[in-house]
Structure 1
C-alpha cells in the first residue's frame, strides 16, 4: 500500500517538499515548547492558558467575555468552565464583574497584573511571529497564507473517516 504518488515530482521537488514538512515539524515543536514554558512560567495548565489568551484577545477587540463564551471557545462544559474561572480568580488572574448590558451575566476580565505578565514575557516572545511574516514580501505572504489555509483544510479531522465522532 502506498500513501503518496510522487511519480509526477522530480527528486528535487520531493526533497524540497520533505524539507518543508520537516520545517513545519520544527515550528510545531517550537510552538509546543513555548506553550509549555509559558504555562510553567504562569503556573497554569494548557486550558487555563488558552482561556487567558482568549480573554486578552476579547479585551483587545473590545468584546465582553462571559463564562458561556469561554466554554464555547474552549469546548468544555459549563461546570468545567465555572471551576476554571474559580481557579483563575483564586490565583488573581481574572475578575468577575457585572456584565455591562446583561444584568443576568458576569463579565470575565484578566487582571492588570496577569495582562502585564503575559505581555512582558509570552507576548514579547510570540510577537516575533509578526517580524518573521514582515520579512516576506506581500506576494510571499499571499503564497504562505494560501498554503497554510489549504493545509489546514486538507488535514481537518472532518476528512478523517477513521475518527469516531462519539
Structure 2
C-alpha cells in the first residue's frame, strides 16, 4: 500500500507489515474512543479531553486546550459542559489560588474503565502470552513508535 505525501505528492515506499499494523492499531484506538464517547454521552473532543485527564492527571485549562489543539474560549465551554455532566471538576491550583486545575471525576474514571476493561484485559492477556524477550521487544517498539508520533 502506498500513501501519498500531501506535501509533495510523492508516494511513500511500500510500508512494512509492522508499520501497517501500527496504523491499524491507531485506527482501532480511535474507533474505541468513539464508542466510549457514545457510551458516556459526550462528543469526540470531550472524550479526548477526558482521556487526556485520565492519562496525564489534573491540568490547567490552558494546557488542556494546547493538548487538544483548541482555543482557550473553546476549552472553557468544553470544561463547563463536562462539569455539568459530572465528568470533571475544577479545583483551585494547589500553589496558586488564582489558577484552576481540571480533573476527571471518580465517576467518569469508573465509567470509562468499565467500558474499556474488556479491551484492556484482552491486550494484557496477549502481552502475558509473550515470553519475556518478546515482551521487551514489543514494549520497546511501541515506546519508540509513540515517540515517533510526538511533536
Q: Which residue does 1:76 correspond to in 2? A: 70
C-alpha distance in structure 2 between counterparts of 1:111 and 1:2, whole Å: 45
TM-aligned CA distance change 1:126 to 1:98, over 3 Å: same
- Deviation, 1:117, is 0.9
- Deviation, 1:72, is 2.5
C-alpha distance in structure 2 between counterparts of 1:25 and 1:134, whole Å: 23
Of residues 43, 46, 49 in structure 2, which corresponds to 1:45? 43
Choose 1 or 2 for highest CA Rg.
1
TM-aligned CA distance change 1:113 to 1:78, over 3 Å: same
Q: Tell whether 2:93 aligns with 1:95.
A: no
TM-aligned CA distance change 1:137 to 1:51, over 3 Å: same
Please, what TM-score do these two structures have when normalized by structure 1? 0.67
Q: Which residue does 1:164 correspond to in 2? A: none
Q: Which residue does 2:3 correspond to in 1? A: none
Q: Which residue does 1:117 correspond to in 2? A: 111
TM-aligned CA distance change 1:48 to 1:131, over 3 Å: same
- 1:70-105 per-residue CA deviation (whole Å, 9 max, x = no partner) reads 122222221121111011112221111222211111
Q: What's the RMSD between the two structures over aligned residues?
A: 3.1
